[in-house]
Amino acid sequence: MTEITLVEAVNLALMHEMERDPAMVILGQDIGVNGGVFRATVGLLEKFGSERVLDTPLAENMIAGTAVGMATQGLHPVAEIQFMGFIPPTIDQLISHASRMRNRTRGRLSCPMVLRAPYGGGIHAPEHHSESTEAMFAHIPGIRVVIPSSPTRAYGLLLAAIRDPDPVVFLEPKRVYRLMKQAVEDNGEALPLDTCFVLRPGSDITLVSWGAMLHETQQAAEQLAGEGIEAEVIDLATIKPIDMETILESVGRTGRCVIVQEAARTCSVSAEIAARLAEEGLMSLFAPIRRVTGFDTVMPMFRLEGHYMPGTERIIDAVRQTMEYA
């Protein structure tokens, strides 16, 4: 079994599914001849041809709208937006059409499309290249939002997203595109959507995160173990809908929770998890829920990225403050 990176796992899943499903097509700017800005689609044009691998103009609204049209007519499109900072033009197509196609047609049509985009900071990119606005999509009824954190998750979750009968926004943490390698078997087995993954068991506190921030969160958990604090680490994986059952079960055992995200703080996914814990798990809590987040500002240029993005020390500080409660 070959060890591959996260972006190679994305390519492997696309390759596998295009071989399995002749109705699958991919489209986006520079995905064909150039193989994608991060090389996620390299080799697909040569293997499947220009009728199934479509280079498009730089027009995000058109890319999303074309995918909606394809999906309603029997194809299974996977559209790529080069960077999340350029994704807002797709919102009209997702809110006005993709998300409500099943409801609008009373079940006669669904919209089996995937909108892929690299997201997040940490690679010293210019403005509009480092956004983390997953909460914007999570707020849209009818849209499923998925974020992998590792090569194995990327392979299995992308297969599941492509096979889902309804629209999925699949956000890839580009900071970890090539950070790690894992052995990934190209066996076509999808991972379950709408399910959290427990990455590390623990009994003292629950740490919930997703995407690239799981790297720092797991580092924090390892350091805290040296202080005698056993943190359970949960990979949220599906941002919408949230698997609250797994989170509530964990917090029911630990009594404490810290949520870690790269995104801005206000009205974010961490706010939703904290609210649900307060509504459904209040009697389990020994301490207030804490959040370690980005700031309510535009993502800064690279010299300030390290200040904006939660680091291991900020996570450890939040855990220590939470543990001070009896």
* Catalytic residue annotation: 129
Question: CA 219 → CA 25, 161, 163, 176, distances in Å?
Answer: 39, 29, 33, 14
How would you classify the pairing of strands 24-28 and 3-4? unpaired
Classify 26 as helix, strand or coil.
strand
Residue 121 CA to residue 299 CA, distance in Å, equals 8
Residue 214 CA to residue 228 CA, distance in Å, equals 20
Q: Which amino acid is at 155?
A: Y
3 state SS for 198-253: EEECCCCEEEEECCCHHHHHHHHHHHHHHCCCCEEEEECCEEECCCHHHHHHHHHH
Question: CA 110 → CA 113, 214, 286, distances in Å?
Answer: 9, 33, 44
Cis peptide before 167 (omega within 30 of 0): no
